[in-house]
Structure 1
Amino acid sequence: MLSTKRSPLLWVVHLSVLLLVVLWTLPTAGLLISSFRDKDQLAVSGWWTALATSSQNIVFRAPGASGQVEKDGKFVISGNVLENRGGVVAAWSTNVNKPSEFEPGTSTTLRDGSTLTVSADGNFEIVSPTKIETERGQRIAFVAEIAPRFTLDNYREVLTAEGIGSSFINSLTVAIPSTIIPILVAAFAAYALAWMKFPGRALLIAVIVGLLVVPLQMSLIPLLRFYNEVGGFFGVPSKTYLGIWLAHMGFGLPLAIYLLRNYMAGLPREIMESARVDGASDFEIFLKIVLPLSFPALASFAIFQFLWTWNDLLVAMVFLGTGKDELVLTGRLVNLLGSRGGNWEILTASAFITIIVPLLVFFTLQRYLVRGLLAGSVKGG
């Protein structure tokens, strides 16, 4: 009878995979939770405290002389320090550096002889025996215990921003052709390198492998200068979609050719030979046999290329420009933050808005991803 006891190594593998999944999932979960949190709570506490009551130190300035009313011979300024924040006041003070000086409901005498009282529900009252003359209101520092609050304001702010719709269309206009064009070119090149005999084939394969390690930043400016010189010779404007399509094609071709060539080289040789015996040309073999069988590899590269082109900002700024009509989605979201990083709380919502389309592409094609990446890794033509 065979033993059903699991190997310790198998448990190590399972635990390692579980740990990797948790490490990758936790930041994403934190980003999602943060995108729905109130911006004031997001600024003072981490996402893991989203379901707990948070303490916030807040400084409130009461109205000045214009806000006073006369009651029973005394002059009163009143209001609520929480200002629709919700929660309760845990402590308060007139000293910004000591916000926990007084308990809620207690009173203190101010320099002008008036009395200030702050209650737990946030209501405050300044009572003066004489008319208040200054328009500069009294500062009240307090510690607020605020319950968890979730909102769609971050998403609403991003989705209703001016130009966000046109930038979304611009990103699609860049990403879709920049994914399809390299696949078409690389598929022909990969078939030639895998199944056609010609001088210099091994050298071309070596050059393609070498290009995989060339940094984009190193080749970006030479490529831009070359494109401008050729475009100027033919009268083509420098800032066009054609330029960025060609740029993304150039940067994506080495990986595409390498991936597809390995896959196609692993296809059964008998199929090719049978097709040639039947009189099929290389073009017919490629179009009717190799291309349909290579769909997993094509889908694998399409996922990587689409993710890269959709999230790209550098190449888009260089080849397309930063005008409001040409700006892609990533550039538009950067502009929403301002030059000094204001409204940084919308980063979380922006992140999930930008990954919606890549997620749809990934889950549509992910079943082909592993097959396409691993095929041809053991055997090559």
Structure 2
Amino acid sequence: MSDDAATTEAPPAAGGGPETGSDGAPRRTVASRLVGALGSGLVQLLLVLIALFWLVPTLGLFVSSLRSPADNASSGWWTALLQPAQLTMDNYAKLLENAVFTGSFLNTILITVPSTLLIVVIAALAAYAFAWLEFPGRDWLFLGVVGLLVVPLQVALVPIAQLYGGLGIYGSIAGVVLFHVGFGLPFAIFLLRNFFAAIPRDLLEAARMDGGKEFTIFRRVILPLGGPAIASLTIFQFLWVWNDLLVALVFADAANQPMTKALQAEMRQFGANIDIISSGAFISMLVPLVVFFAFQRYFVQGVMAGAVK
């Protein structure tokens, strides 16, 4: 065999391995270089700046809530950063004396807490049944629940309003709660059922062999293991119900209106009461933030568990 033939390079193996450079190391593509650049300090600094820019409206709302109506009317909120003497707590003091806003804040709690608890409890029980109990028509019934996810709530506003009028609960807090529960259950059942179905069957079989009843298994096995998913669902439902405006506009009267509807009514005189709107809006935003950060650890666990499963 000649030297030329012996030194001829072998063709690349079938299947196309990764390309290599002159030093034998894998050649990095443009996409891999971009991915590697995401961990650089410059990109992290850019992300921090974007996050700060995203928080500017929230900062403006908070600063405006601490300024007098005259200052808000005469200059922008950013002037208070250089003149801290403009900041005062009078707006919040007046807001706490406003019967409309204190009543709407209480109504928001009376609507949000029962709606969230009912959705979580009913959805957890139904999800366990769909995941681990055998009964006729289970799969078809679950497909029906999934199909309800695509039904927009707007199509039910008029029929439900007529039904509530016949039952005598139109405009009441109970009517708003029932509407939120009815339209929140399909997603809640779908979410929890998929999580519960991923729990190892051996755990449930071992509990049954030890004489555990279904409710005991649900309480001592399913609930502890499904805690992250339940916490995530609780956060989602709390935020959705707390920030709802459409359902409140349709089904809540003036005596039972939540804060979203009360703030919407105040927007009609925006220039005259910006101090009330800003302080009320910031309080309305503060409560969901407290709830989110209180359950943040469980929320992250639920999201990561859902991603792995």
- The TM tier, using the shorter chain, reads 0.7 to 0.9
Aligned to 2:299: 369
Is the contact between residue 266 and residue 277 of structure 2 (CA under 8 Å) also seen in structure 1? no
Is residue 170 of structure 1 aligned with residue 200 of structure 2? no
Q: 1:192 to 1:331 in 2, by over 3 A?
A: same
Aligned to 1:271: 203
Any idea what SS the aligned residue of 2:39 has? helix
Shift of 1:340: 6.8
Is the contact between residue 171 and residue 256 of structure 2 (CA under 8 Å) also seen in structure 1? no
Aligned to 2:289: 359
Is residue 281 of structure 1 aligned with residue 213 of structure 2? yes
Aligned to 2:173: 241
Shift of 1:338: 4.7
- The separation in 1 between residues aligned to 2:229 and 2:66, in whole angstroms, is 38
Shift of 1:243: 1.8
Aligned to 1:40: 70
- Once the two structures are superposed, residues 176-225 of structure 1 have per-residue CA deviations (whole angstroms, 9 ceiling, x without a partner) of 11111111110111111222234444444444334334333233222333
Shift of 1:265: 1.8
Q: 1:270 to 1:14 in 2, by over 3 A?
A: farther
Read off the aligned partner of 1:29 and give its amino acid letter: L
- The separation in 2 between residues aligned to 1:309 and 1:333, in whole angstroms, is 16
Q: 1:205 to 1:149 in 2, by over 3 A?
A: same
Is the contact between residue 104 and residue 259 of structure 2 (CA under 8 Å) also seen in structure 1? yes
- Once the two structures are superposed, residues 268-315 of structure 1 have per-residue CA deviations (whole angstroms, 9 ceiling, x without a partner) of 222111112223232221122102222222221111212222232332
Any idea what SS the aligned residue of 1:10 has? coil
- The separation in 2 between residues aligned to 1:284 and 1:216, in whole angstroms, is 36
Q: 1:208 to 1:45 in 2, by over 3 A?
A: farther
- The separation in 2 between residues aligned to 1:340 and 1:256, in whole angstroms, is 37
Q: TM-score, normalised by structure 1?
A: 0.63
Is residue 220 of structure 1 aligned with residue 157 of structure 2? yes
Any idea what SS the aligned residue of 2:256 has? coil
- The separation in 1 between residues aligned to 2:187 and 2:303, in whole angstroms, is 11
Read off the aligned partner of 1:38 and give its amino acid letter: S
- The separation in 2 between residues aligned to 1:14 and 1:219, in whole angstroms, is 46
Match for 1:309 among 220, 241, 245?
241
Structure showing greater radius of gyration is 1
Q: 1:378 to 1:222 in 2, by over 3 A?
A: farther
- The separation in 1 between residues aligned to 2:53 and 2:182, in whole angstroms, is 34
- The separation in 1 between residues aligned to 2:204 and 2:107, in whole angstroms, is 42
Is residue 328 of structure 1 aligned with residue 261 of structure 2? no
| Structure with greater proportional strand content | 1
Match for 1:160 among 97, 100, 103?
97
Q: 1:19 to 1:250 in 2, by over 3 A?
A: farther
- The separation in 2 between residues aligned to 1:20 and 1:274, in whole angstroms, is 51
- The separation in 1 between residues aligned to 2:176 and 2:247, in whole angstroms, is 7
Q: TM-score, normalised by structure 2?
A: 0.76
Is the contact between residue 229 and residue 302 of structure 2 (CA under 8 Å) also seen in structure 1? yes
Aligned to 1:88: none
Unaligned 5+ residue runs, structure 2? 1-34
Match for 1:10 among 35, 39, 42?
39
Q: Which moved more, 1:263-272 or 1:186-195?
A: 263-272
Aligned to 1:195: 132
Is the contact between residue 263 and residue 281 of structure 2 (CA under 8 Å) also seen in structure 1? no
Q: Which moved more, 1:38-47 or 1:303-312?
A: 38-47
Read off the aligned partner of 2:172 and give its amino acid letter: T
- The separation in 1 between residues aligned to 2:205 and 2:129, in whole angstroms, is 15
Q: 1:225 to 1:373 in 2, by over 3 A?
A: farther
- Once the two structures are superposed, residues 222-245 of structure 1 have per-residue CA deviations (whole angstroms, 9 ceiling, x without a partner) of 23334444x2xxxx5433332222
| Structure with greater proportional helix content | 2
Is the contact between residue 174 and residue 244 of structure 1 (CA under 8 Å) also seen in structure 2? yes
Aligned to 1:149: 86
Aligned to 1:261: 193
Q: 1:38 to 1:292 in 2, by over 3 A?
A: same
Aligned to 2:222: 290
